[in-house]
Structure 1
């Protein structure tokens, strides 16, 4: 009927908690949402969190609800979908043929090979979209741990990287569901600042499409979320054939501003 969920965040109050308030349509406008938010706020305070984020679909009743309780929109996310049957093989071949000079491709499934672990951790820092919420720095241990978490739930993490000497100049990751069929999920894609402007992003993504087509022909779709102000990555995805499916908004509030139970 109604539920409140406080998702677990990484240890440490330096990272925001996450809250998801849901009330069935027939029970709205009775104060249930506010009571659930207050209950969630108690848990956040007990956990030592100073801020909280919530992600909702644009245009839904959740937007005015959050704004009326002190949340501010800090990020717009555009959910996009690529249907692989709609991507001509010639397009992928053309993008791969336009390989930037001085770079080579590397790829792996699962945990990053030892020789690339530190370089991948450094490349992860090139992602700025969620830097405001990143409290834990990337290191070799963390990039290995992420792949292990994906594997434990039965999925596979595929990574394609563009190398310049021993440096990972850019990379892209896709998580393929168990059984290697259906819809895959785009994870991180980033290019180091000093290597941008050379179409490395679309090159590694095209290499990923070819690899998945060879190894996972049952994968028919790839979904992704991009920050609404990341014009470059949006343009890359649109050139590949991704199409807008939804728009989400990420809101943030100080836990001290949230209502307390009994108020």
Structure 2
């Protein structure tokens, strides 16, 4: 098997076309509810990743030059330098011929070559990914639920009541809007606040806390903006002293402006118990209704075991559309 690794900044156009075609063919079979990958979104992901730390991507071609399989190997550099993530996508017309196994083994070899001893991978429950990853020797480590919020079906009267109740418990805080990039004079405070996400349940995943820095926040912003997403960050600030104590983030797709992604929502430990998470999320919906009136759907993910945030999302009206499992194996 000959692998062709894509250049992060200047990939061959035919390979980019081939990757997106394979992703779309697999999406239709494995996860038809999922938002498809576009040429521009893949190019941005290849160059910038989620936060300036992109995965390496390789393709395999058949004898006609058509891409038939895609290998993604993510080797984190901000933190968790003991692990690598391996994802394999095979054209449905070429499955059950051993190509997926060859690609996955090549990915594990790349993880080992970097001196890492844990491999992660994931996939939707009820798809071919389950049997494949089990056959590769990985074990289930965490389950997540994918939920969607239909903004055209919001119960605004009930949400107004929930907001009023949350405000009665959070009078010591004010809500501050931060669209786009974080202001320079607030960057260090946002870094400290963002680290509170490390309290989120990770189940049996053998991962370390995420490490945040001003450089990482800026790299995240650059990656998201380059991917064609408009960023909305809403922050809770203590009236006494001005400390930033919690935030929620949403991104809206520029090319598909009906679609939004819910990113982190977290409150620092010392300021929990004031319903700030719910307050921030409802206030975010009000902000988006004014600034992004065309928005119809917001997608959010949570660990099934994250009972507190699941409860908040259910108050908003989020509905489960799928579950997925994160798998791991020691090398």
Alignment TM class, shorter chain as reference: 0.7 to 0.9
Is contact 2:82-2:115 (8 Å) kept?
A: no
**Match in the other structure for 1:3:** 69
Match of 2:188 in 1: 118
Change (3 A) 1:174 1:101: same
Tell me, what secondary structure is at the counterpart of 1:171?
A: strand
Over residues 175-216 of structure 1, what are the superposed CA-to-partner deviations in whole Å (9 max), with x where a residue is unaligned? 111157211000111111122222110100001000000001
Residues 137 and 329, structure 2, Cα contact 8 Å, conserved in 1? yes
Unaligned 5+ segments in structure 2 are: 1-66
CA–CA distance in structure 2, aligned partners of residues 8 and 166 of structure 1: 38
Contact 1:13 / 1:50 at 8 angstroms: preserved in 2?
no
Distance in 2 (CA, whole Å) between partners of 1:26 and 1:179 is: 30
Q: Taking structure 1 as the reference length, what is the TM-score of the superposition?
A: 0.88
Deviation (angstroms), 1:41 = 1.8
Shift of 1:135: 6.3
Helix, strand or coil: the match of 2:172?
coil
Cα deviation 1:7-62 (Å, max 9, x = unaligned):
33333771522212234455444433322221222222233332221110112222
Is residue 2:254 matched to residue 1:168? no
Aligned residues: CA RMSD: 2.2
The answer to which structure, 1 or 2, has the higher relative contact order (CA under 8 A, 6+ apart) is: 1
Match of 1:261 in 2: none
1:242-253 equivalences in 2 (<5 Å): 242-253=318-329
Match of 1:219 among 278, 283, 295: 295
**Equivalent residue, structure 2, for 1:260:** none
User: Which one of the candidate residues 270, 273, 282 is aligned to 1:194?
Assistant: 270
Point out 4+ residue stretches in structure 1 off by more than 6 angstroms: none
State yes or no: 1:140 paired with 2:214.
yes
C-alpha distance in 1, partners of 2:179/2:194? Answer: 17
Find the counterpart in structure 1 of residue 177 from structure 2.
107
1:234 counterpart residue number: 310
Aligned with residue 122 of structure 2, among 41, 55, 64 = 55
Secondary structure of the residue that 1:219 maps to in structure 2?
A: coil
**TM-score normalised according to structure 2 size:** 0.71
Contact map agreement 1:174 1:186 (CA 8 A) in 2:
yes
